[in-house]
């Protein structure tokens, strides 16, 4: 486990997506940092998408392919002029293939402070079953 007491955060250049198809809207697309955690019951995906609101997130699951797309609206006001900029803003996009059968109607998503929490419950059939060996 990481020791947060001594750790300092380092700025990272946002990784840009090499898009398979051209985007309809111009502007850069970034790869969000994610944590993926699996339990027997579900798979949880946590993604950092600063600037993306609840309405701007698109989650799509089809054929075991999970697609996350977030559109970050520019927070700048109309009359603001750049003094200097160190980071770019734009879309976030990332795709994952899922190895487990997901109970699609039970998928839950929550967006809080720019972090997406996606709960993907496994189908009953996909959950590991415990088989007890009887002593004969």
Residues that bind another protein (CB under 8 A): 1-2, 4, 7-11, 13, 33-39, 44, 46, 48-53, 72, 75-77, 79-89, 111-115
Cα 56 from Cα 73, distance rounded (Å): 8
**Nearer to another protein (CB atom), residue 84 or residue 136:** 84
CA proximity to 27, closest of 90, 74, 78, 79: 90
Q: Tally the residues of the chain.
A: 136
**Nearer to another protein (CB atom), residue 78 or residue 136:** 78
CA proximity to 100, closest of 53, 41, 32, 60: 41
Cα 74 from Cα 39, distance rounded (Å): 37
Smallest distance, Å, CB 55 to another protein?
10
**Nearer to another protein (CB atom), residue 37 or residue 133:** 37
Smallest distance, Å, CB 79 to another protein?
4
Smallest distance, Å, CB 19 to another protein?
17
Smallest distance, Å, CB 103 to another protein?
17
Residue 69 bridge partners (DSSP): 58, 93
CA 128 to chain centre: 25
């Amino acid at each position: 486990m990481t020791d947060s007491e001594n750790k300092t955060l380092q700025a990272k250049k946002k990784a840009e997506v090499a898009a398979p198809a051209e985007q309809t809207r111009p502007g850069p697309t970034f790869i969000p940092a994610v944590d993926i955690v699996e339990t027997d019951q579900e798979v949880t995906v946590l993604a950092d998408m600063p600037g993306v609101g609840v309405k701007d997130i698109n989650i799509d699951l089809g054929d075991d392919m999970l697609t996350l797309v977030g559109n970050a609206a520019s927070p700048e006001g109309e009359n603001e002029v750049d003094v200097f900029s160190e980071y770019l803003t734009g879309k976030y996009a990332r795709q994952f293939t899922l190895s487990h059968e997901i109970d699609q109607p039970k998928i839950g998503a929550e967006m809080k402070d720019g972090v997406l929490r996606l709960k993907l419950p496994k189908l009953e059939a996909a959950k590991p079953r415990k088989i007890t060996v009887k002593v004969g």
